[in-house]
Amino acid sequence: MQISLTEKQKVEFKDLQKIRIGDKGFRDLAVTCVAFANAQGGQIYIGYDDKLCAPKPNQEVSAKEANDAATRLRELCFNVALSSSGILADENGSQYFILTISPSVQSIATTSDGKIYIRVADKCMPVRSEDLQSLMVSKGNFQWEIIQTKFKVLPPLFYACIENYSGGQD
């Protein structure tokens, strides 16, 4: 399946080497997870090359690598809820997986060394001391942007009834 995505507010591409190079790569991924959690959540495509916008040719990922990556990131992030998609394959057979990070609605997410980040556009930015209070205040507010409503598109008959009831006036 070819995905036509670009990196943006809620999508980040990370090379598979990030989880294979050890602690340095995982610490970088932890920053991204924390930034997503402190914003509106997001997805990290592990094994996706950001220049190609696709996985590298003939790339293979084991289920153990994906599970170990999620486990390690849970150790390096506090107040971050994340889940792994399992192994996915591109149309050319190259493998990758997606980590989905939920927004941290009631608490501030941090890295294991106590640092706080937030997602701004397609960048993970450190939270400055003067911005910390506004971040804390926003955690207690209703975040309507991330709530799904139970209502779907109303049927045309509903709009006809409204128009009939109002006499056709706007």
DSSP track, 99-138 = EEEE--SSS--EETTS--EEEETTEEEEPPHHHHHHHHHH
Residue 92's domain spans which residues?
11-166
Report yes or no on 2 lying in a domain: no
What is the predicted pLDDT for the residue at 2? 47
Q: List, for residues 109-155, the tens digit of each pLDDT value.
A: 999 999 999 999 889 999 998 888 888 877 766 555 555 656 566 66
- For residue 12, count other CB atoms closer than 10 A to its CB: 25
| Band (89; pLDDT cuts 50, 70, 90) | very high
30: nearest Cα among 15, 19, 16, 17: 19
In a domain, 3, yes or no: no
The amino acid that residue 141 corresponds to is N
**Residue 134 is part of a domain; what is its CATH number?**
3.30.950.30
Torsion region of 152: left, alpha or beta (phi above 0 gives left; psi -120 to 50 gives alpha): beta
Asked if residue 1 belongs to a domain, the reply is no
- Whether 4 shows a pLDDT value over 60: the answer reads no
pTM for the model stands at 0.79
52-84 pLDDT tens trace: 888 999 999 999 999 999 999 999 999 999 999
Q: Which two tokens stand for residue 93?
A: 């057979």
Q: What is the number of domains present in the chain?
A: 1
Q: Indicate whether 93 belongs to any domain.
A: yes
